[in-house]
Chain A
Amino acid sequence: MSKSAFNQPISVAWLFKMAWRDSRKNRSRLFLFISSIVLGIAALVAVYSFKDNLQRDIDSQAKELAGADLIVESRRPLEKARQKMLAQLGDDRAEERIFASMLYFIKGEGSRLVQIKALQGKYPFYGKIETSPAAAATQFQSGRNALVDQTLMLQFNAKVGDSVKVGALNFKIAGILNKAPGQTGIQATIAPTVFIPLIYLEKTGLTQIGSRITYRFYYQYLNDSELEKTLKKIEAPFEKEGLDIETVASKKESTGRSFRDMSRFLALAGFIALLLGCIGVGSAIHVYIQEKLSTIATLRCLGLKARAAFLIYLIQISCIGLIGAVLGAALGTAIQFLLPVVLKDFLPIEISMQISWLAVAQGVALGLLISILFALPSLLAVRKISPLNAIRASFESATAKRDPLKWLVYVLMILFVFGFTYLQMKSMAQSIAFTIAILIAFLLLMAFSKGLMFLAKKFLPLSWSYLWRQGFANLYRPNNQTLMLTVSIGLSTAFICTLFFVQAILINRVTLSSSANQPNTILFDIQNTQKDDLNKLTKSYKLPLMNQVPVITMRIEQINGKTLAKDTSNANAFRGEIRATYQDSLTAAEKITDGEWIGKVESDTAPIYISLEQGYAKRLKVKLKDKIVFNVQGTLITTAVGSFREVNWGRMQTNFRVVFPTGVLEDAPQFHVLMTRIPSKEVSAKYQGAVVRKFPNVSVIDLDLVLELIDELLSKIGFVIRFMAGFSMATGWIVLLSAVLTSKNQRIKESILLRTLGASGKQVLIINAIEYFFLGVLAAGAGLILSISGSWLLAKYSFDATFTPPLVPILVLFSIVVGLVVITGVLSTRNILNQPPLKILRNEG
């Protein structure tokens, strides 16, 4: 014979034709498999498109975001010379002071801590301050007017034209502030803004020592090269003085960065949905190939080569994967228009959503890649199917033989998960952690399911009724889907519950502090002279003085003889203001972890041993006995690190990173903080009003209000998370449905056999229901256990909080999952029973 017969090339066209023919009776099923990845792809495409659109809009709106070409910011008062220089920069300039202060509504007698922005000049040069009436944005500077944030207006039921008091001065509300440039809805809720003209700032009496004021200078440059020149000139000296410079480019960069983090998170949430879908695809294809065993064996008998057989099914899966990916991309492109609505409170700009073809292409490629990758273990087995299967029925299962390539595929899968995660996170450690977490969850669920099948087989209680035993035994009979259903149901349950629990932990953590006899109101910026009067006022309202400490602001000048100029490795340590206190003994929330606490400095010459919070010390990179020189508003004080403390930040009280002993700072400029507990909202409003009227510079933080805000913030974040988790939930359900329908063929024979043996349709139904009930209970249980332990670990090590699993929600979640599994399982097998057996037998081939 001719040698060529051995190496006859098989035509690609024929392989496609065969793939097409072979899919004939399976197309709807194949489509069902692939629908598991549709939602995951949709989620990712939506997030990617959103990211692209956001990036484009940030780029095009960066000027409006910044409002100026150059922004210089300082957190402390400027030297005369510097002020003079700043007054000459740019073609146009504006100036702003920002600080926290109480705002008092004269008519309603309400007050609240707000962010005051005292503005002078035509800022913003680009974009606008949105107010109603619109003209107020520019006109308010012409008199003693204020622009008040809309949330405040609502909270205190105020109207344009009403009066508010800032410090010692009354202002007329000229307009409602709807949106300041670059401000997000969340920022406005947490720190509502009030604009006043800068010229009145002095007269409010709020610019004294103690108040933390940020100085901002805005510049417009009509000429880019002029701006470049200025930047070159000022960068180095400003950096040294601790002045921050912001430009349109840096604003673009920083805004982009913060939203990259957000879209990374969203993409990861979408990826989990996709992974769930992949597990679904993988196992559905596995069953599909098992059913093709005899077809493949026959083709092999007729002379089809192993590789060609493999290619036929690879083509089939690729095509259907491509369809799924395209559908996913289309759906994702539609869903992306929802994202700006979901995220509206977090966005600083208007987003104009457009179709992002790049995102669509990424989604399609990803969908194709992932469906092939996860089908490969089953597809590779096609090569190993022996033609003997044609003459000897079920000679072996399609996957019985060992195949090193399969292990390669598993490694590729893990690499893929890692690689994808890395592309999102851009952090090696995080990606490894994420991959390992997924892998562990996967392996645990797998081990759990294997163990379960083993136990079910070994300890099936014989005393149970036939229906129960049969339902239970279904879990481990050949070709069962227990493994894959436990994994996919378990993983999606775990994922969703963990999100839910973490949210609960966070809310718990903040509400904890408001409970019992913990303080709920903090007053700060209390001057030395006001201390006693304020205490008297507080007592007259029958409120306790719960924690009263002095606060001194200072900066680090030197660490072990090195200044910032010399030690660039630790530049952050020298920046910013530190708020320190002094005390003679430790509070209940503090514990010395190393060194020794010395409460008093006896003489002027004795060394001053301070105590540092241990985490802060680590960031400063200092050890015990290291020398730190502090600049306390002009006076240099040399200290040595005497001890490290552990601080329980969860306790509601004033905690400090740096604590001095008594006998050093008593005469330094300082203000005091007072904590108290106010029993009711009414008393709180009255007390706050009294404080603001008498001590306008004192700020009052109402922790109950803060808690409400945090609650609101968390529920907004929670909404976004639930939106993304929804993809996983829906995918989990589709995987379940696909698995149930896939195993339908295997059930048909058995169900009919049972019926011919005399079981009623109802009994068969009950057997199925029992099986799905067990499956649901065990998979959801495993997922819950996984997420409870995960949340507990997170709570303990990440949030430093306690976690008690919320019983009622757990039971509700659990019942929902189990119910869904049973209903899906029973409904999709029910129609088997209603069909005549003959039809089923004929369709079965």
Chain B
Amino acid sequence: METILEIKNVSKAYQSANHELTVLDNINFSINKGDTVAITGPSGSGKTTLLGLCAGLDRATSGSVTLNNIALDNLNEDQRAAVRNQYVGFIFQNFQLLPTLTALENVMVPLELRGAKNIKATAMTLLDKVGLADRSHHYPVQLSGGEQQRVSLARAFSNQPALLFADEPTGNLDAETSEKVIKLLFDLNKDAGTTLVIVTHDLELAARTNRIIKIKGGIIIADESPKYV
């Protein structure tokens, strides 16, 4: 199995006024291509922090993060941005659609950034897949939360990322809508063969992945692969 994400001895500490707050303490794990992984843990345990480090949004205090064989620690901000655009997709708890762009344009942005061809057609196909082709010219404020998250799914898959990160993708949605979005997420994932890393409280969602990493107080307390058990 090919490794797509490798976390080695990663620690993260925040320097506050007079003392150091260690949020992540010597974390080690690696994720194989095509895996679906859930990171769970109580609030404040460091899940979002870890996700940020994995995706190259932040720098670790110590340790190394290797994404698709690229050591992120040696890259500057702009180089990491390029890596994100090439290999990484995001789904956010609060959707983070660009409010001044239409649904279609939101999906197009990663492709445009990359300088891809046939952008509009690709984006429309994706919007169609999430069932929002007829809403393509609506702005985020004109969409419901669930619809917004579906646009956000389309956007995340638009650049065919090698790795998709999702932080509480259903955190802002009701149970029924959550269910729809989760189904869509896994369907799209299966089609694209993307590696999926989901941070979630939702045990049902976690159960659908084939690996669950539990953290607490900044350390991994369990790393199980229920489907293989």
A residues neighboring B (CB under 8 Å): 1, 5-8, 10-11, 14, 21-26, 294-295, 297-307, 386-388, 390-393, 842-843, 845
B82 contacts chain A at the CB level, 8 A cutoff: yes
| In contact, B58 and A386 (Cβ under 8 angstroms) | yes
Which B-chain residue is minimally distant from A23 (CB atoms)? Answer: B100
Known interface pairs A295-B98, A391-B57, A391-B167; A302-B78 also in contact (CB < 8 Å): no
CB neighbours of A305 from chain B (8 A): 77-78, 81-82
Return the chain B residue nearest A298 by Cβ. B96
A299 touches B98 (CB 8 A): yes
Given contacts A8-B114, A388-B58, contact A304 B81 (CB under 8 A): yes
Instruction: Report which residue of A8, A297, A387, A393 has the largest number of chain B beta carbons within 10 angstroms of its beta carbon.
Output: A387
A-binding segment of B83-91, B125-133, B175-183, B215-223:
B83-91
CB distance from B73 to the nearest CB of A (A): 15
Residues of chain A within 8 A (CB-CB) of B159 are: 303
Q: Which residues of A contact B155 (CB under 8 A)?
A: 302
| Neighbouring A residues of B210 by C-beta, 8 Å | none
- Check if B110 is an interface residue, CB within 8 A of chain A: yes
Complex CA–CA separation, A7 to B83 (angstroms): 10
Given the contacts A303-B84, A390-B92, A391-B57, A298 and B78 also touching, CB distance less than 8 Å? no
Q: Does A1 contact B141, Cβ atoms closer than 8 Å? A: no
Q: Please, which residues of chain A bring their CB within 8 A of the CB of B113?
A: 10, 14, 302-304
A-B contacts, 21 listed (Cβ < 8 Å): A8-B82, A8-B115, A10-B113, A14-B112, A22-B98, A22-B100, A22-B101, A24-B100, A298-B96, A299-B109, A301-B90, A302-B85, A303-B81, A303-B82, A303-B83, A303-B110, A386-B58, A387-B57, A391-B51, A392-B48, A843-B141
User: B86 touching A303 by the CB < 8 A rule?
Assistant: yes
Known A21-B105, A388-B58, A843-B141; contact A393-B94, beta-carbon cutoff 8 A: yes
Which residues of B lie under 8 Å from residue A843 when comparing CB positions? 141
Q: Report the bound CA distance from A388 to B53 in whole Å.
A: 10
- Give the docked Cα–Cα distance between A25 and B142 (Å): 13
Specify the chain B residue showing the minimal Cβ separation from A295. Answer: B98
Given contacts A5-B82, A305-B81, 19 further A-B contacts (CB under 8 A): A5-B85, A6-B79, A8-B115, A21-B101, A22-B101, A24-B101, A26-B100, A298-B96, A299-B98, A302-B113, A303-B82, A303-B88, A304-B81, A305-B77, A305-B78, A386-B57, A387-B84, A390-B92, A393-B94
The residue in B92, B140, B159 that gathers the most chain A C-beta atoms within 10 A of its C-beta is: B92
Interface pair B48/A306, CB less than 8 Å apart:
no
A843 closest partner in B (C-beta): B141
Interface of A, secondary structure class, is: helix
Whether B96 lies near A390 (C-beta < 8 A) is yes
Least CB distance, A63 to chain B, in whole angstroms: 62
B140 in contact with A845 (CB, 8 Å): yes
- Report the bound CA distance from A387 to B87 in whole Å: 16
Q: Is B226 an interface residue (CB 8 A)?
A: no
Interface bits B37-68 vs A (CB < 8 Å: 1, else 0): 00000000000100110010110000000001
Q: How far is the CB of A114 from chain B (nearest CB, A)?
A: 72
**List of B residues within 8 angstroms of A22 by Cβ:** 98, 100-101
Residues of A within 8 A of B115 (CB): 8, 11
Residue B192 lies at the interface, judged by CB distance under 8 Å to chain A = no
* Contacting residues, chain A, for B78 (C-beta < 8 A): 6, 305-307
- In residues 104-146 of chain B, which contact A (Cβ within 8 Å)? 105, 109-110, 112-115, 140-141
- Which residues from B are CB-within-8-Å of A388? 52, 57-58
Residues of B within 8 A of A23 (CB): 100
When distances are taken between beta carbons in the complex, the residues of chain A under 8 Å from B92 are 298, 390-391
For B109, the closest partner residue in chain A by CB is A302
Query: B84–A391 contact, CB under 8 A?
Result: no
Chain A residues near B52 (CB-CB < 8 A): 388, 391-392
Inter-subunit contact B82/A298 (CB<8 Å): no
By a CB distance below 8 angstroms, the chain B residues around A297 are 96
Question: Which residues on the B side are within 8 Å of A303 (C-beta)?
Answer: 81-86, 88, 110, 113-114, 159
Chain B residue nearest to A845 (CB atoms) is B99
Distance A6 CA – B87 CA, assembled complex (angstroms): 12
Nearest chain A CB to B70 CB, angstrom units: 6
